[in-house]
Chain A
């Protein structure tokens, strides 16, 4: 409907900016309240978990024995003891996992983006990585059990755990590398080629440094994620209350496994150990996330 003439003829007395109508004000308030509520509902469980963890697990954190000793020789009712053995286990298992998964995953990511683009091999690999990223951790554990222990005949060990964690971490690293390399504009690659720099050097000296911050952050967050994986631990390694540095021999504790095992001891000491281990694990993951932020800042691209 055209109202041009009517508009011109109408006196310019009506204010240009109308006041907010009642209906709109009601809608606005309702929406504000709803959004606020959603926020509260989402945050309550988070705070609750943290509060419970800190309330129950704070006591162990404050004793030096907790950080320097193991549970070795302690009976179910004995107070005290420490988490040192489980810290060693968790750190060793994830570190070895990272040593295997990171170079492998980054290389695959580089291949997919820089060399494979749309080749059949690249498409198949991406598809496989997608499937692998949906792999339940218990299945990863079962697979390594079947391969490493049943087929190859090795004993259950911390290293078997590392291998199953590799299966879980690999798709994360590949995906992160892929995403970060895709963000690097082609113009930078072309600028480098135009200077007579070979492709491999362009990738190493121009493309990777540009995306390094994101890749490192992604890898570390992936690491934090697999640190709390429990299912493969239940299958692939026995629990030990003593300190065991050897990934290849004997039972080895880790933080999630300690939480799980201590839960079965229904004494006050058991509670102490369980909540202590749980809070330690959360603190460790928090620390690693913090490290990720820090490294990301350190390696990020600067403009001044």
Chain B
């Protein structure tokens, strides 16, 4: 369960475009780390590099290392499929599988990995949906398509799907940006619950959200147009928001940016 991530000298490219330069940071186990920063600063790119989703984009390239409890996910011979099984991900837009029922969506990861034991799938469905605070709302219509749920419910369904495979780390890429305040609150409460068992990294544009849910915050910035994004500073969330050590961070947080 919950593992630590050490990111060392991470450089990310799309073809010849250098997207992110020299990121080094630690993500602690059983805590929430928030990535904040302006659009295009590379925070989502860094997040996607953590479970080797960056390389899904044609022409992308990674340099540096990401250690999961000391084990480099970019070591030669490491299967990206295995990495993604250990480091799960929730996306900006809820993306339940449209051809599958709510139940099948939740256990998709297990089913597609070849698990057939009905009793186990049943248990995982209930446990994951309870874990995502969705069980009470959908328990009577598990066989209905996942696409019929509301936006907030769909996003919680995606979280249930991600935790159903019991990853060590959960990555969230702006999980609330398309949701209304009530659904956002539901998901923030859920994040607070989940961090008891999971290591969570969340990218967010909402600074209040970062302040509310995270234990440590990393601020990314673009030094100038056309240059790669960089990690400006990382620290305890309270400190970053009250007394950041960099001027750029203070400007961004106080809204005096750009």
- B-contacting residues of A (Cβ < 8 Å)? 117-118, 185, 187-198, 201-202, 205-206, 209-210, 212, 301-304
Given known A-B contacts A190-B56, A301-B147, A196 and B98 have beta carbons under 8 A apart: no
Q: How many residues of B contact A (CB 8 A)?
A: 30
A206-B162 Cα distance, complex, nearest whole Å? 16
By the criterion CB–CB under 8 Å, are A194 and B53 in contact? yes
Checking B56, B147, B161 against A195 with a beta-carbon cut-off of 8 angstroms, the contacting residue is: B161
By the criterion CB–CB under 8 Å, are B98 and A197 in contact? no
Number of A-B contacts (CB under 8 A): 81
Given known A-B contacts A194-B84, A195-B161, A303 and B93 have beta carbons under 8 A apart: no
B95-120 vs A: 1/0 string, CB under 8 Å? 11111000000001100110000000
A151-B145 Cα distance, complex, nearest whole Å? 55
By the criterion CB–CB under 8 Å, are B95 and A197 in contact? no
Checking A195, A205, A210, A302 against B162 with a beta-carbon cut-off of 8 angstroms, the contacting residue is: A195
- Residue B81 interfacial (CB < 8 Å): yes
Whole-angstrom distance between the Cβ of B165 and the nearest chain A Cβ? 6
Given known A-B contacts A190-B91, A194-B84, A205 and B112 have beta carbons under 8 A apart: yes
B125-152 vs A: 1/0 string, CB under 8 Å? 0000000000000000000110110000
Given known A-B contacts A188-B97, A190-B53, A197 and B113 have beta carbons under 8 A apart: yes
- Residue B5 interfacial (CB < 8 Å): no
By the criterion CB–CB under 8 Å, are B148 and A197 in contact? no
A31-B138 Cα distance, complex, nearest whole Å? 53
**Could you show 29 A-B contacts with beta carbons less than 8 Å apart?**
A185-B95, A187-B95, A188-B95, A190-B53, A190-B89, A193-B53, A193-B56, A193-B81, A193-B84, A194-B51, A194-B53, A194-B84, A195-B88, A195-B108, A195-B161, A196-B85, A197-B108, A197-B109, A201-B112, A205-B112, A206-B99, A209-B99, A212-B99, A301-B98, A301-B99, A302-B147, A303-B98, A303-B145, A303-B148
A191-B96 Cα distance, complex, nearest whole Å? 8
- Residue B58 interfacial (CB < 8 Å): yes
A189-B53 Cα distance, complex, nearest whole Å? 11
Q: Across the interface, name the chain A residue whose C-beta is closest to B57.
A: A186
Q: Which residues of A contact B113 (CB under 8 A)?
A: 196-197
Whole-angstrom distance between the Cβ of A182 and the nearest chain B Cβ? 15
Q: Across the interface, name the chain B residue whose C-beta is closest to A187.
A: B95
Q: Which residues of A contact B108 (CB under 8 A)?
A: 192, 195, 197
Q: Which residues of B contact A192 (CB under 8 A)?
A: 97, 108, 112
By the criterion CB–CB under 8 Å, are B145 and A304 in contact? yes
18 further interface pairs, Cβ-Cβ under 8 Å (given A195-B165, A197-B81) = A185-B95, A188-B98, A189-B56, A190-B56, A190-B89, A190-B91, A191-B95, A191-B161, A194-B53, A194-B162, A196-B81, A196-B85, A196-B86, A196-B109, A202-B112, A205-B112, A206-B99, A210-B98
Q: Across the interface, name the chain B residue whose C-beta is closest to A196.
A: B85
A194-B164 Cα distance, complex, nearest whole Å? 12
A191-B175 Cα distance, complex, nearest whole Å? 13
By the criterion CB–CB under 8 Å, are B85 and A191 in contact? no
Q: Which residues of B contact A202 (CB under 8 A)?
A: 112
A198-B56 Cα distance, complex, nearest whole Å? 12
Q: Across the interface, name the chain B residue whose C-beta is closest to A205.
A: B112
- Residue B121 interfacial (CB < 8 Å): no
A302-B100 Cα distance, complex, nearest whole Å? 9
Q: Which residues of A contact B81 (CB under 8 A)?
A: 193, 196-198
- Residue B124 interfacial (CB < 8 Å): no
Whole-angstrom distance between the Cβ of A119 and the nearest chain B Cβ? 10
Q: Across the interface, name the chain A residue whose C-beta is closest to B48.
A: A190
